[in-house]
Amino acid sequence: MRIVRTLASLILSLGVTASAVALPVNLSFESGNLSGWTVSNPLAIGEFTGLTPVGSASVLPLFQFGGAPGPIDGSFMAAVGTGNASLLPGQGAFDITVQQSFSLDAGSTLSGNSFFYNGDFAAQDSVWVRILDGGGNILATPWIQVSGTGGVTPFQGASPWTSWAWSAPTTGSYTLVLGASTFGDDRFATFGFHDGIRVPEPSSLILLTAGIGALVMRARGRRVNKT
């Protein structure tokens, strides 16, 4: 019980809360699924299909269209995209997202890699990476691509992998969102692919882990001496 009280005091002295030491998981999607990520894929009434998801979020080993590259880190990559042939006229705008929250120290850099499949000839779709603060406000959009025929990536073509990075202005909790947006008929699917995300471990967690280790060793030493 004394060890528990000491550990609680250590946590309070470090100013660490449960949310402040959130650990990122499955950043390169090598689990083969989206475990550790929260998925949001809204439903809408399609012209022919009734209630239908407006997009998709999955983990893939490859994408066979547009000359797309394969995973850049391991065997899998995340794919977040708009719908296809659902025909959602007048249904408004939708965001399809996967997201994860974790702690960052001030000045630490969050980074990753993304590429774009331009699946709509109209500028109705976009794919992006966003950073939110603890209150859900958008702080930055380090990567974004828009569908259509006016960009560098041709219609039904894929871009190469692009690296992006963002540095935390203060120590705190942040949310990384990998998303796609669509509006209008939602007839053609556009995708953003993501892999090789890197999140530095917060120093407060390192200190906490070291403190727990010291307390465990101290407890073991006492038991040995008593024996």
Strands ordered across the beta sheet of 93-104: 38-40, 93-104, 172-183, 125-132, 138-146
More confident residue, 181 or 214: 181
As a whole number, mean pLDDT of residues 154-179 equals 98
As a whole number, mean pLDDT of residues 186-203 equals 93
Res 14: pLDDT: 46
E strand or H helix at 214: helix 203-226
| Average pLDDT of the chain, as a whole number | 86
Domains of the chain by residue range = 20-208
More confident residue, 18 or 182: 182
Q: Which amino acid is at 43?
A: L
More confident residue, 20 or 152: 152
Is the pLDDT at 224 greater than 50? The verdict is: no
pTM over cut 0.85: no
CA distance 54 to 121: 18
pLDDT digits (tens, 9 = 90+) for 53-102: 999 999 999 999 999 999 999 999 999 999 987 888 888 899 999 999 99
Which range has the worst mean pLDDT, 45-49, 50-54, 72-76, 223-227?
223-227
Res 212: pLDDT: 55
Neighbours of 201 (CB within 10 A): 16
More confident residue, 220 or 207: 220
Residue count (the chain)? 227
pLDDT digits (tens, 9 = 90+) for 129-156: 999 999 999 999 999 999 999 999 999 9
pLDDT bracket for residue 8 (50, 70, 90): very low
- The number of CA neighbours under 13 Å toward the Cβ of 83 is 27
pLDDT bracket for residue 1 (50, 70, 90): very low
Where does residue 92 rank: exposed (0-12), middle (13-18), buried (19+ CB within 10 A)? exposed
Are the C-beta atoms of residues 78 and 161 closer than 8 Å to each other? Answer: no
Instruction: Report whether CATH 2.60.120.260 matches the domain 20-208.
Output: yes
- Residue 62 in tokens: 């490859």
